[in-house]
Structure 1
Amino acid sequence: MIQGQAQPPKRRADILVQRLAQYIREGVLKRGEKLPTEVDIASQEGFSRSVVREALLRLQAAGLVETRRSVGTFVIDMPPPQELRLGPESITTLEDVLHLLELRISLEVDAAGLAASNRSNADLADIRQALLAMKEPDSKKPGIAIQADFQFHLRIARASGNQYMFDIMKHLGTKMIPRTQMNSAYASNEERLAYLEMVHHEHDSIFAGIAMQSPDSARAAMFLHLNNSRERLRRTRMAKTTTLQSPPEA
Structure 2
Amino acid sequence: MRQRYEQIADRLVDDLRRGVLRPGQRLPGERDLAAQLGVGRASVREALGALAIRGIVETRPGAGSFVTADALERLAAADALRDTPALPADAGPDALLEARRAIEPEIAALAAARGAGEDPDVAALLDEMARSADPRDPEQRRRWSDADRAFHRQLAVVTGNPVLIAVAEHLASLMDQPLWQQLRDESIAVPGRTTLQLAEHRLIAAAIADGDAAAARQHTIQHIDRARRFMALD
Shorter chain as normaliser: what TM range?
0.5 to 0.7
Q: Does the 8 Å contact 1:102/1:230 carry over to 2?
A: no
Which of these two proteins has the greater Rg computed from alpha carbons?
Answer: 1
Unaligned runs of 5+ in 2: 1-83
Deviation at 1:137, TM superposition (A): 4.0
Structure 2 residue aligned with 1:113: 109
Structure 2 residue aligned with 1:86: 88
Structure 2 residue 158 is matched with structure 1 residue 159: yes
Q: Does the 8 Å contact 1:101/1:176 carry over to 2?
A: no
Partner secondary structure for residue 181 of structure 1: helix
* 2: CA distance, partners of 1:180 / 1:207: 27
Identical aligned pairs, as a percentage? 22
Structure 1 residue aligned with 2:222: 224
Q: Does the 8 Å contact 1:114/1:215 carry over to 2?
A: yes
Partner secondary structure for residue 130 of structure 2: coil
* 2: CA distance, partners of 1:149 / 1:133: 9
**Do the aligned partners of residues 179 and 134 (structure 1) sit closer, same or farther apart at CA in structure 2, a change above 3 Å counting?**
farther
Give me the TM-score of the superposition, normalised by structure 1: 0.51
Q: Does the 8 Å contact 2:97/2:224 carry over to 1?
A: yes
Q: Does the 8 Å contact 1:117/1:214 carry over to 2?
A: yes
Give me the TM-score of the superposition, normalised by structure 2: 0.55
* 2: CA distance, partners of 1:209 / 1:104: 19
Q: Does the 8 Å contact 1:210/1:218 carry over to 2?
A: yes
Q: Does the 8 Å contact 1:127/1:156 carry over to 2?
A: yes
- Counterparts of residues 1-250 of structure 1 (less than 5 Å): 83-87=85-89, 90-91=90-91, 96-121=92-117, 124-137=119-132, 141-176=140-175, 180-185=182-187, 192-233=190-231, 235=232
Q: Does the 8 Å contact 2:109/2:217 carry over to 1?
A: yes
Deviation at 1:85, TM superposition (A): 4.3
* 1: CA distance, partners of 2:132 / 2:97: 27
Partner secondary structure for residue 184 of structure 2: coil
**Do the aligned partners of residues 221 and 157 (structure 1) sit closer, same or farther apart at CA in structure 2, a change above 3 Å counting?**
same
Partner secondary structure for residue 94 of structure 2: helix
**Do the aligned partners of residues 185 and 206 (structure 1) sit closer, same or farther apart at CA in structure 2, a change above 3 Å counting?**
closer
Unaligned runs of 5+ in 1: 1-81, 239-250
Task: Give CA-to-partner distance per residue, 1:130-187, whole Å, 9 cap, x none.
Answer: 111111148752221111111110110111222211101112325427664132357x
Which structure's relative contact order is higher, taking Cα pairs within 8 Å and 6+ residues apart?
2
- Give the superposed CA RMSD: 2.5
* 1: CA distance, partners of 2:109 / 2:187: 31
Aligned AA for 1:202?
E
Structure 2 residue aligned with 1:56: none
